[in-house]
Amino acid sequence: MSLSRKDFLKAAVCTIGLAPLAIMAASSARTAPDPRALQGASWAMAVDTTKCTGCNECAVACHKGHNVPNVGNSKQEVKWIWQENYEGAFPELSHNYVDEGMKKRPFMLLCNHCENPTCVKVCPTQATFRRPDGIVMMDYHRCIGCRYCMTGCPYGARSLNFNEPRDFLKEINPEFPTRVKGVVEKCNFCEERLAIGKKPLCVEACRYQALTFGDLADANSEIRKLLNDHPSQQRKLSFGTKPKVFYIV
Amino acid sequence: MGRSYLLWMGFLATVMAVGYSVHMLDFPAGLSRDVSWGLHIAQFTFFVGVAASALMVVLPYYIHNMKEFGRITLLGEFLAVTAVTVCLLFIVVDLGMPHRIWNVVFYPTPNSPLFWDVVVLNGYILINLVLGWKMLEAEHQGAPPPFWTKWVMYASLPWAVSIHAVTAFIYAGLPGRDLWLTALLAPKFLASAFAAGPALLILLCAILKRTARFDVGAAAIDKLSVVVMYATITVTIMQVSEFFTSFYAGIPAHMHSLQYLFFGLDGHHALTPLMWIYVVLLITALAILIRPKLRNDEQTRLIGCAAVFFAMMIEKGLALTVAGFIPNPFGRVTEYVPTWSELVVMLGVWATGAFLISLFYRLVISVKEG
């Protein structure tokens, strides 16, 4: 039987085309989790506003460690954790006769890693997704930059890279990826640090122990004790997003 | 091939080229962390409505056998194809990572209205393209179209409603955006679609009558303008209803976006003049369309239809999207005004639509005229 060149090429290309499947099968080996990794089923953060001085060290540490650019234009800024006043943090609770102390108090805002996150619901490519341990993650490679997640988030926790971030980074932390213009980013609860047994950068940077990170599912955790012993509130509870950042007031 | 036609297409191609080269530049400066969707997404929202309105010429002709729509139905179907193409273009020029748009296909996400919008929009293009093509072919051959076109036509009817309902659902399911969080949004989108779309079609037919001497017939236009009238009345009732719910209840969160648009909020009022132009246009449109003498007179009818089209363009093609983000989640106003680069890109996309529709209509007319 004589094989025509056309048939040979067809067969060859099809066979070669199967190679990626073989490669994928071979590389389906999984990586074992790091034994140091912090274990948790429901990660959460408590911000003790009675202790917070508004020094901003948490934000500086976070942005430095995660290569968050300072684009110098507040309209298009990128921020993972930042300071707000009471009126901005709780506009639905703020009235005209709030006490002076509360008016001056700093409130650190960040992604709430909601249990019922709107951003995850609306993302058309699952570039943002919720992990079983409660962290709402971003896949910078899959994000198409549609900003639906930004539109959906009721907390204003997300930022688009309107500019090329590397143009605005004085120094780059090589241990964490930089992003590119056109993708959305936000606080990731330092999942890369949790994986090697370390607490989030903001928690570590705070000199006043105002930030407590822990597992809500662990009844003996520090955060559960804190919430048990002090009155706390959350942002925009009525929306049903079930945020996991608590403010001790 | 008339010289004026070539000049027209050449002009459009130039606008397209300018538009797309401007697009290659930076992200529009007008958008912000607070107002992350602006002119382009708003225009996409508006043109989905125009596309859905093809239903208003398909329904009377195929379902109700109103033969006077015979010359206008194909025009409506190809307007739908063009409008959806324009929609998809507006999305692509708006994306931060346009080359990754295939991710929506590779990683289908049924819980996302945006995913469904891509599905239904592409399906709608296909339906109208197939339907239009087969109908045109049938006319050209002087033979009836294949039997299955009937089923495609039936499918196109709920599909037309769905493309605009899904687009409304993109907005209407977000807890933090009060202006959009209303059950009224999808019905309002449909009503304004059935006002703006047929109004545009009437305007296009008037242009065709003058430039290509192609007359769809007064009967079809008269009936279609009645559709525009009822749709415009419906939109007005809905707008009044929105105002009442917002301002009578007086809940700040439910009021602020509307307040920003029409009266300004915290000293910010960039869009207020535009909103009152919208009101004037709406009243003008109603004044003309409700009176049969004015509605059936060719000149005043065109003014009425233009008024409807631009009124809906202001409201759905800019104001609604932008004001949903105002005030921001922290209770403050970050304003948005389209920048020149956004406007130029918009013109480029409009020119693409005009280019396409000119091609389609030329085809339809040449087949219909024999």
pLDDT tens, chain B, 370 aa long: 688 899 999 999 999 999 999 887 777 778 999 999 999 999 999 999 999 988 899 899 988 999 999 889 999 999 999 999 999 999 999 999 999 999 999 999 999 999 999 999 999 999 999 998 999 999 889 899 999 999 999 999 999 999 999 999 999 999 999 999 999 999 999 999 999 999 999 999 999 999 989 999 999 999 999 999 999 999 999 999 999 999 999 999 999 999 999 999 999 999 999 999 999 999 999 999 999 999 999 999 999 999 999 999 999 999 999 999 999 999 999 999 999 999 999 999 999 999 999 999 999 999 888 6
Residue linked to tokens 């009124």: B311
Give the count of beta carbons closer than 10 Å to the beta carbon of residue B274. Answer: 14
For residues B165 and B186, give the distance between their C-alpha atoms in angstroms, rounded to a whole number. Answer: 5
Distance from CA of B338 to the nearest CA of A (A): 14
Strands A245-248 and A43-48: parallel
Asked whether residue A213 is assigned to any structural domain, the reply reads no
Domain that holds residue A90: 54-208
The answer, for A125 touching chain B at a CB cutoff of 8 Å, is yes
For residues A184 and A151, give the distance between their C-alpha atoms in angstroms, rounded to a whole number. Answer: 11
Query: Residue B112 in 3-state DSSP?
Result: coil
* Residue B341: C-alpha distances to residues A167, B23, B40, B294 (Å): 22, 7, 11, 39
Q: Quick one: pLDDT at residue A1?
A: 60
For residues A129 and A138, give the distance between their C-alpha atoms in angstroms, rounded to a whole number. Answer: 7
Angle between helical axes of B39-52 and B340-368 (0-180°, round to 10)? 20
pLDDT in tens, A138-192: 999 999 999 999 999 999 999 999 999 999 999 999 999 999 999 999 999 999 9
Please state the domain count of chain A: 1
Nearest CA to A210 out of A64, A81, A63, A68 is that of A81
* Residue B11: C-alpha distances to residues A185, B4, B18, B354 (Å): 41, 10, 11, 11
Contact A115, A124 (CB under 8 A): no
Identify the sign of the CA torsion A104, A108, A113, A118. Answer: positive
The answer, for B341 touching chain A at a CB cutoff of 8 Å, is no
Identify the sign of the CA torsion B320, B322, B328, B333. Answer: negative
Asked whether residue A235 is assigned to any structural domain, the reply reads no
CB contact under 8 A, A92 and B253: yes
The answer, for A88 touching chain B at a CB cutoff of 8 Å, is yes
Radius of gyration of chain B (CA): 21
In CATH, which of 1.20.1630.10, 1.10.150.20, 3.20.20.10, 3.30.420.10 is domain B3-368?
1.20.1630.10
Asked whether residue A162 is assigned to any structural domain, the reply reads yes
Q: Quick one: pLDDT at residue A125?
A: 97
Taking only residues 130 to 189 of chain A, the set having a beta carbon closer than 8 angstroms to any beta carbon of chain B reads 142-148, 150-156, 159-163, 181-184
Cβ-Cβ pairs closer than 8 A, A with B, add up to 133
Distance from CA of B54 to the nearest CA of A (A): 27
Residue B195, judged by CB atoms within 10 A of its CB (0-12, 13-18, 19+), counts as: buried
What lies within 8 Å, CB to CB, of B164 at 6+ separation is: B48, B49, B51, B52, B186, B189, B190, B193
Contact A131, A212 (CB under 8 A): no
Nearest CA to B202 out of B220, B188, B186 is that of B220
pTM for the structure as a whole: 0.92
Q: Which of A70, A71, A74, A75 to mutate to test the interface with B (most CBs of B within 10 A)?
A: A75
Q: Which of A82, A159, A162 to mutate to test the interface with B (most CBs of B within 10 A)?
A: A162
Query: Residue B268 in 3-state DSSP?
Result: strand
Nearest CA to A78 out of B39, B108, B54, B27 is that of B27
DSSP state at residue B334: -
Q: Quick one: pLDDT at residue B23?
A: 86
CB contact under 8 A, B107 and A126: yes
Domain regions of chain B by residue span: 3-368
Contact A107, B64 (CB under 8 A): no
Output the domain CATH number for residue A180.
3.30.70.20
Sheet of A245-248: strand order equals A211-215, A43-48, A245-248, A232-233
The answer, for A92 touching chain B at a CB cutoff of 8 Å, is yes
Query: With a cut of 50, which residues of chain A have pLDDT below it?
Result: none
pLDDT in tens, B131-181: 989 999 998 898 999 999 999 999 999 999 999 999 999 999 999 999 999
CB contact under 8 A, B175 and A241: yes
Asked whether residue A133 is assigned to any structural domain, the reply reads yes
String of b and e for B242-264 (b: at least 16 CB within 10 Å)?
beeebeeeeeeebbbbbbbbbee
Nearest CA to B77 out of B340, B367, B364, B301 is that of B364
Which of A123, A160, A236 minimises the CB distance to B96? Answer: A160
Q: Quick one: pLDDT at residue A5?
A: 82
Which of A84, A118, A125 minimises the CB distance to B175? Answer: A118
* Residue B332: C-alpha distances to residues A42, A78, B181, B361 (Å): 32, 18, 19, 48
Which of B34, B174, B330 minimises the CB distance to A118? Answer: B174
Q: Quick one: pLDDT at residue A9?
A: 81
Paired residues of A138 in beta bridges? A128
